[in-house]
Amino acid sequence: MDYDFDLFVIGGGSGGISSARRAAQYGAKVGIAESWTLGGTCVNRGCVPKKLMMYASRFPEQFEVSTGYGWSAPKSEFDWKHLITAVNQELGRLNGIYESMLDRAAVQVFPHHASFLNAHTLDVGGQKVTADKILIAVGGKPVRPPIPGIEHAITSDDIFHLEEQPRHAVILGGGYIGCEFACILNGLGTKVTQVIRGDKILRGFDDDIRSEIQAKMIADGIDILSETNIKEITKTDSGIIDVCLIADGEEDHILADVVSLAALGRKPNIDNLGLENTQVELAAGAIAVDKYNTTAASNIFAVGDVTDKINLTPVAISEGRAFADTQFGGQSRIVSYENIPTAVFTSPEAATVGLTEAEAIEQYGEDGIKIYRSRFRPMFYTMPDIQKKTLMKLIVHQDSDRVLGAHMVGDDAAEIVQGVAIALKTGATKANFDATVGIHPSAAEEFVTMR
C-alpha cells in the first residue's frame, strides 16, 4: 500500500523533532504535527525558560559577593516585565530555529492536532493523512489533583506568563519543579511558601542532597511547610487566594496572590489521541513500549514523557534518535537507562548520577558499599566571608571498587557532574578517581581527592 509518509510524528517537542530529522536524514518522507508551538515543554514552558529565570534570580547573591572583592554595593531594582518579555523573545527565537531545522530536513510540518483513525491513518486538522510508521511524542502535562478550588491555582506551565510579579506565592509540592520555582521566585524577591506532604523535599534523590538543599532554602527565607496537606483553595472577592491547610489535624490558612501546582506531578498527555482506534496499550496511564519503543501495534511507536520512563529532555532525544536509527538507518539500537545524570536548578544547585545511598544499600547491603563525602566552602565565598557550602559524595562498591553514584550540591554542579557521569558510564573505580590529577584550585578536584 502507498502511504502519504514513511513516518508521521505526532508532537513537535524534543523527542519528536529529533526523530523526524534523523529519519529524514536517512531518506524517509516525514511529516510532523504540532498544534501548539515547536520545541515542546522543554523549550517553551520547561527547562529553557526556567533556567533563564534561574540566572536572573541569582544576581542578588552575586551583587553581595562582589563587595568582598572591592566593588561597591550596587543599587539595583528588578523589573519582572522586562525579564518575562526577554524570556519570551528568546523562546520565539528558538521556535524559529526548530522550524528552520525541520525545513532544511524537508520534514513537512502540520500546525494541527493529530489523532488516530486507524493504525495507519490520522486525522490531522480535519485532513486524512496516512503513514507506514507513526511515532507518538506528545510529552506530558501537569497533574491537577481533585482538591476543592483547584481551578484557582496555576500550573508550572503558567508561571512564565504572569504579567505581574507575585508578592506572595504558594508552591504546592516538593518535587524538583516546585523546588526550582520556589528558589527562583524567592531570589527575585517574592515571598514563597512551599507546601509538601512529606518531611523533606525532592523525594527519590539522595538524602544528603535533600537535606542540604532544604536547609539552604529555609536559610534563604523560603517557608517550607512539611507534612502538610491542602484541604481547599478559595478566591476572595478582592482576588486574594486563600489556601486552607491541614497539619497534625489542625487547620491553617495562607493568603497569597498566586498558588502554583508546580510539583504535584505530570502525566502522559494521551487525551484525544484516538488510541482506542488502535491496538496501542497503556500501562499505569502511559503508553507501553518495548526496548525499541514499539507499542502493541507493530507500526506505532512512542518516545519521551508519554511513555513515562525517565522524564528528561535528553532521554527523549536519545530515544527518538535510536528509534530512527533502528527503523530507517539499518542500525538496531536501544537506549540504556543506567547512569543517566540529572540536575536540579535550585539555589544551591544539585546534580546526580548513579545510585543514591539508599538504593546502593538495597542492592548491595550496608556493608557492601563505602561512602565518601566532602563538605567545604568554595574559595569564591571566602573573601566576602559568605558561609555557603558545597557538598560532594561518592558511593563505592566495596568488592569491585566501582563508583556506583556521584552526587553534588553547589555552584556549577550540573557542569561538573556531567563530566563525572562519563566516568561512571565507563565503569570507573574509586582507584581511577584517585589516580586522576585534579585541577587546582577548583571545586571539581574534590571528586578526585576524597579519601
Which residues face 192 on adjacent strands?
169
| C-beta of residue 180 within 8 angstroms of C-beta of residue 201 | no
Nearest by Cα to 286 from 270, 271, 266: 270
Within 10 angstroms of residue 448's Cβ, the number of other Cβ atoms is 18
Count CB atoms within 10 A of the CB of residue 386.
14
The CA distances from residue 379 to 72, 75, 384, 442, 444, in Å, are 20, 25, 10, 8, 12
C-alpha cell at 431: 582507584
Return the SS3 of 439. Answer: coil
Alpha-helical regions (H) of 149-260: 176-187, 207-219
Pairing relation of β-strands 121-124 and 286-287? unpaired
Residues marked as catalytic: 440
CB atoms within 10 A of CB 138: 29
DSSP 8-state secondary structure symbol assigned to residue 402 = B
Task: Tell which residue, 264, 65, 78, has the closest CA to residue 185.
Answer: 78
| Distance of alpha carbon 303 from alpha carbon 307, whole angstroms | 6
